[in-house]
Amino acid sequence: MKTITLFLTAVIASLLFSQCSKDGSAETFSGTGLSGSTARFAIVANTLYTVDNSSLNVFSITNGEKPENIGHYELGLNIETISSYGNNLYIGSQNSVYFVDVQNPKAPRLMGIVNHFTSCDPVVSDGTYAYSTIRSGNGCNWGGNQLDVIDVSFPMNPYVLKSYPMNNPKGLAVSGKWLFVCDEGIKMFDKTDPQNLKIVDTKAGVPANDMIADGNTLIVVADDGIYTYDISGGKLQLKGKILKSL
């Protein structure tokens, strides 16, 4: 978990730097940062959102050198992950998925909740559907192992559209019509029909934990290092890897 956290921190820092204003200063940010599904922070426009065990914390990063804490909101116990899409946050806990509207950064609004049995629970979204993996093990051993597809087209009333059995799923990512899941390797799905996900490729030998999809590139964080794949052709084509030294 430490390796994942350090890597994702580096990715966020890199993205923040790349989004600095072009006038030579490093104080104004724009756009939305990318992070893995198991991250505990997300960036929407000029606002950084972080989660701890029970709450959502909000920081203005308009001035990148002096982040300002502008909010603290209690959600519930056992909060684990946070991701974003548009003006919405998707927050995973061991018991629920929270859907939060942050169109007004200073006043996050809880829109809906989907409850599930106790399990580890990262979540990502493409705006119409959210995808959440639920797994047993590592302190989350009360639940099963599955992928939930959640309809969030009406965020005030989200519901699980369909569940798919998995082995021991961890992080996941979406890009275009593709869904990627770390499940004893990497599984690539065509999610055109969310009620009939189709596996189009797999990489069984990669000990993947989390991933970030950025355009035609998939960045995978694994036990033994970092892998990058070209996904432009609808397959997982290895571009490179950086393995940890022994």
Kindly report, residue by residue over 91-147, the tens digit of the pLDDT: 988 888 899 999 998 889 999 998 865 556 788 999 999 999 988 765 555 567 999
CA distance 211 to 228: 9
Type of residue found at 103: Q
Q: What is the DSSP letter of 86?
A: T
Are 96 and 76 in contact by the 8 Å Cβ rule? The answer is yes
Within the chain, where are the H helices?
2-18
Q: Which residue has the higher pLDDT, 23 or 151?
A: 151
How many angstroms separate the CA atoms of 103 and 163, rounded?
30
- For the chain, the C-alpha Rg in angstroms (whole number) is 17
Average the pLDDT over each of 15-19, 173-177, 179-183 and give the range with the smallest value: 15-19
Beta-bridge partners for 148: 132, 163
Q: What is the mean pLDDT of the chain?
A: 83
Distance CA 185, CA 18 (A): 31
Q: Residue 242 CB: number of other CB atoms within 10 A?
A: 10
Task: Supply the pTM of this predicted model.
Answer: 0.81
CA-CA distance, 37 to 165, in Å (whole number)?
19
Which pLDDT band holds residue 218 (cuts at 50, 70, 90)? very high
Measured from the Cβ of residue 22, the count of other Cβ atoms closer than 10 Å reads 6
Stretch 196-218: mean pLDDT: 95
CB-count burial class (<10 Å; 0-12, 13-18, 19+) for 65: exposed
Residue 141: per-residue pLDDT: 54
CA distances from 147 to 72, 138, 144, 208, 213 (A): 30, 18, 10, 16, 18
State the pairing for strand pair 198-203/237-243: unpaired
* pLDDT attached to residue 131: 94
Q: What is the rounded CA–CA span in Å between residue 34 and residue 115?
A: 26
**Residue 44 CA: distances (Å) to CA of 69, 118, 135, 164, 215:** 15, 29, 28, 30, 18
Count CA within 13 A, CB hemisphere, residue 70.
Answer: 18
